[in-house]
Amino acid sequence: MVFTKRLREGVRRGFITCSVRIWKNPHVKAGRRYRMDDGEILIDSIEPISLQDITYDLAVESGFESRADLLKVARHGSGDNVYLIRFHYNPCISKP
C-alpha cells in the first residue's frame, strides 16, 4: 500500500490505522503484508463501504483534516468501489 508523504509518519507511529481507498478492484488482501519504508503494513481487514459511510470521524482516523480532504486524495483513479482498510504498521521487516 502506498501512502501520501504527509500520512507516512502517522502510519509509522500508529496514529493512522485505517485507510479509505476508491479502486476498481481491491489491491490488498487481509492477512497480507506490504512494504513501507523500513517496515511493513499488515492488513487486518478490508471491507466495501459506500461514500455515505465516510464520515468526518473516519476521515480524521485516516489522517485527514476533513471528509473533503480524504475524498480529494482517494478519488485520484478511475475506480468507483470504496473500501475501508484496517491495518497496523510493523517497523521491522524480518530478513531471510
**6-41 tens-digit pLDDT:** 999 999 999 999 999 999 999 999 999 999 988 999
| Confidence band of 93 (pLDDT split at 50, 70, 90) | low
Residues 6+ apart with CB under 8 A from 89: 11, 12, 14, 36, 39, 40, 41, 42
Average pLDDT score over residue span 30-57: 95
Is residue 74 a contact partner of residue 21, using CB atoms and an 8 Å limit? yes
Q: What is the CATH number of domain 5-90?
A: 3.10.400.10
- At residue 92 the predicted structure's pLDDT band, cuts being 50, 70 and 90, is confident
More confident residue, 11 or 4: 11
